Structure 1
Amino acid sequence: MNELTNQFNNQGNNAATVVAASREMEEVKGQIFMAQNMPRNECAYVSFDKRLGFIAELLPPELRADDIMGMDHQKAIMWLWQGARENIEEVDELQKELSSTNETLETALEMISDLQEENKALEQRVSDIEEFIKGRLLRR
């Protein structure tokens, strides 16, 4: 905190500092005004200086404009729409596969449960047979 205070005190009343601070304050005021008075999606476009874009040479040929200098937006929309349709089909297939896998799992769990019950019954039977044999051997 002391370091910040020293820096502030060392700046003095430098005119350039005052102008820069005033400019920054005006930018902040402008952004606040835009945020309060513009709809959310419009404000996002207005308040940011940087824009996203594509380098035309790096685009797939399907998306390039005929002059190869930019992107054909209509082609891009069709390409994205086709990709979305393929993704929907893939999701449907995966849901069917998951449903089938769940049915198989439920069947396997039922079989395991049945086998465990059979195993308990067989263990009891073996135990009974062992007791019978011990009883017979002790009688001799």
Structure 2
Amino acid sequence: MIGHLQTNKINKALRIFDTIDSVDSLRIAKQLVKKLKQTKNPLFVLLEINTSGDKTKFGFDPNNDQDLLEAIALDKIIVGGLMTIGPASQEKESTSKAFARLRKIKENINRQVVRNKKLTVLSMGMSNDYELGIYEGSTMVRLGTALFGPR
């Protein structure tokens, strides 16, 4: 699943999806863990970081490592990496900065966590900016529009 997850939709999301690629707050991560305690299987997730600072976007604060580290340490979720969406402006320079920031956050977090909690996935770049994402180290791009056309 990708996109903002509302707390009242967590149960439904857990029935439908095997992964959630947009856990955008510590509160949502903790709610997922609370619901997952009823199951045996952990859930693979990506933490969404608002690297553009866009007030209309969801995501962890890129300046708050503590919330990220706390989410990574939670039981029942496997935090595989980080994701971000480029700025709405779609200017190459600001998009590159946002993607570079995510890479640096990942590197910083990986210096602080134990080996089995290292982040491996960087999800950044969509149909209109995936080249910039790849250049900055993306391991996962989202190409829906490029593959299937506009909605």
Tell me if TM exceeds 0.5: no
Judging by fraction of residues, say which structure has more helix: 1
Judging by fraction of residues, say which structure has more strand: 2
**Higher RCO (Cα < 8 Å, 6 or more apart):** 2
TM-score (normalizing by structure 2) = 0.16
